[in-house]
Structure 1
Amino acid sequence: MLLSAAVSLDGRLDGTGPRRLLLSGPEDLDRVDEVRAGADAILVGAGTLRRDNPRLLIRSAARRAARVARGLPPHPLRITVTASGDLDPSLHLWHEGGDRLVFTVDAVADQLSRRLAGLADVVGTGPSLDWDRVLDECGDRGVRRLMVEGGGLVHTQFMSRDLADELHLAVAPVLVGEAGAPAFLAPAPYPGADRASRMRLLGTARVGDVVLLRYAPKERT
């Protein structure tokens, strides 16, 4: 499982204004497109869908064709998670690309399934969002390579549960400087937060005007 995010120098995913703060440059956006093309599924939280209205598609026609040549659909499965069920059927995600999957709590699953009928499969995971159930269901659907693109609350859930195999951080030469701006990670009981362990640096690269940092969150045995 890969966690991917673009962050400012002060660790923010976005500003507080009404328009999205674009941290990645064209070179890094192309890199992300390449990583997406190698994934079986892309997961984002409902907050990211509501704020950014992303399509989560493979932009490159050559990469889409290469996926099809390998017997894969042109675009990965797109997944979101929501506890509230507050998802607008007019969002771009539901109307472009291939299959879509939504995980939610049982209390709103039926209502959300009716709202998104014909647009996405909706799966209830119990009285709360059960991340083990989410991952089990993804595995049952053939997802072996999951790319998690945010937002901060979702990244926090995966990191605090020690579920990530790799972390990609594209650090942009930008200072947001706003106290209310969304952070990459929220305070949580992270594994190794007592400094008993360190992440392992897998590599660094300059991508346009951003620096890509690749980490393994823990040693794999």
Structure 2
Amino acid sequence: MAIRPYVLLSAAVSVDFRLDDTARERLVLSNDRDLDRVDRERAAADAVLIGATTLRKDNPRLLVKSAERRAQRIAAGKPEHPLKVTVTGSGELDAGLPFWHCGGEKLVFTVDGAVHTARRALGALADVVSTGPVLDWPLVLDELGRRGVHRLLVEGGGTIHTQFLAQNLADELHLVIAPLLVGEAAAPKFLAPASYPGGPASRMKLLEARPIGDVVLLRYAPKSRRR
């Protein structure tokens, strides 16, 4: 049986714990120094995962921006960019997005009822895999491990982060707090209500608290909990 990857969740939030505002253009919460830190985490990952909603809204490329880091990956015998992964329950994906036309290999996880829709939309642009009648995160991690992914960077959105934390599948959480207040009820939240392991009194282990310019990085070990 393949070993599941080490799972690192990464998110930047406002002080009122919003991932974005409701404007059409994405609200940039991190600063340049922190974005460079995230680029370093991408370069260290074997795969980067986002949900299809985040893919549609933010239109990210999920590339390693630093030429030096890309060169280091190649020198280490790795692809220039990590495997790009998305998950979708509907299979409705826009093949025209830059995500599919830059970087290296792409992988889509979906459910039985959406496999044909996703494959018809993407053709040869990505490998499409079903986890069964519902999205099964343990099976996702098993398949990534089978494909040689040792370190997985999860960049959102909130639904994805909620599911990983609720199912106790995240090994590490990087949460960046930006000095902004979004203040919009409809703005996307970092996490949704869920039955989290251990209940409300269970405390995650804090690994690090570090200012990076005007933002603060909090590193937690979600599986290391105590009361």
Coarse TM-score class (shorter-chain normalised): over 0.9
Determine if the alignment matches structure 1 residue 138 to structure 2 residue 128: no
Counterpart for residue 202 of structure 1: 207
Counterpart for residue 65 of structure 1: 71
Runs (4+) off by over 4 Å: none
CA distance in 1, matches of 2:113, 2:220: 37
Determine if the alignment matches structure 1 residue 87 to structure 2 residue 93: yes
**SS of residue in 1 equivalent to 2:186:** coil
Offset, 1:119: 0.7
Q: How does 1:109-128 map to 2 (within 5 A)?
A: 109-128=115-134
CA distance in 1, matches of 2:173, 2:47: 16
Counterpart for residue 31 of structure 2: 25
Q: How does 1:180-195 map to 2 (within 5 A)?
A: 180-195=186-201
Which runs of no fewer than 5 residues in structure 1 stay unpaired? Answer: none
Query: Is the contact between residue 198 and residue 218 of structure 1 (CA under 8 Å) also seen in structure 2?
Result: no
Identity across the alignment (%): 65
Counterpart for residue 169 of structure 2: 163
Query: Is the contact between residue 100 and residue 126 of structure 2 (CA under 8 Å) also seen in structure 1?
Result: yes
- Give the CA RMSD over aligned residues: 1.0
CA distance in 2, matches of 1:214, 1:133: 26
Aligned amino acid, residue 76 of structure 1: P
Aligned amino acid, residue 37 of structure 1: A
Q: Deviations over 1:68-126 (max 9, x none)?
A: 11100010000000001121001111000000000011112023112211210000111
Counterpart for residue 55 of structure 2: 49
Counterpart for residue 11 of structure 1: 17
CA distance in 1, matches of 2:206, 2:138: 27
Q: Deviations over 1:123-149 (max 9, x none)?
A: 011111111211111011001100100
Which runs of no fewer than 5 residues in structure 2 stay unpaired? Answer: 1-6
Counterpart for residue 149 of structure 1: 155
Query: Is the contact between residue 167 and residue 214 of structure 1 (CA under 8 Å) also seen in structure 2?
Result: yes
CA distance in 2, matches of 1:200, 1:68: 35
* 1:218 aligned residue (210, 215, 223): 223
Q: Give the TM-score, by structure 2 length.
A: 0.94
Query: Is the contact between residue 158 and residue 164 of structure 1 (CA under 8 Å) also seen in structure 2?
Result: yes
CA distance in 1, matches of 2:113, 2:222: 34
In the comparison of the two structures, how many residue pairs are matched? 219
CA distance in 1, matches of 2:35, 2:80: 18
Aligned amino acid, residue 53 of structure 2: G
